[in-house]
Amino acid sequence: NAGVTQTPKFQVLKTGQSMTLQCAQDMNHEYMSWYRQDPGMGLRLIHYSVGAGITDQGEVPNGYNVSRSTTEDFPLRLLSAAPSQTSVYFCASSTGGDGYTFGSGTRLTVV
């Protein structure tokens, strides 16, 4: 099992560009979520999904869209990148209480 796979690992965008961060899991987990990690801020929840076709907003959803067409995939879309979205992004999946499995992260820089 690969666990949670995130691509790309690194990305540089210009302000106003759009892009999609990919996340895939092969553990048949129902729950998936996206976080951003900024220095001194810990991890903050962007969007989450409780199953295919169902998504909801987390703490910091502005500027991001998600969709969940399959159990395995949960892409995060930046519609018009801004410097404030420079961060490290983590995707995670879970079946519930016994812990979330995290991907290795995508380091995004918006210039």
Question: Is 10 a binder of other proteins (CB under 8 A)?
Answer: no
From 18-26, 65-73, 78-86, 92-100, span contacting other proteins (CB under 8 A): 92-100
* Residue of 81, 51, 40 lying closest to 64 (CA atoms): 81
Q: How far apart are CA 66 and CA 54, in angstroms?
A: 10
For other proteins, the binding residue among 1, 2, 10, 98 (CB under 8 A) is 98
From 16-24, 66-74, 77-85, 90-98, span contacting other proteins (CB under 8 A): 90-98
Q: Is 2 exposed, middle or buried (0-12, 13-18, 19+ CB in 10 A)?
A: exposed
Least distance to other proteins, CB of residue 47, Å: 9
For other proteins, the binding residue among 2, 10, 42, 62 (CB under 8 A) is 42
Q: How far apart are CA 6 and CA 22, in angstroms?
A: 6
Distances (CA, A) of 93 to 33, 79, 81: 6, 23, 25
Binding residues for other proteins, per CB under 8 A?
30-31, 33, 35, 40-45, 48, 50, 56, 58, 90, 92, 94, 96-105
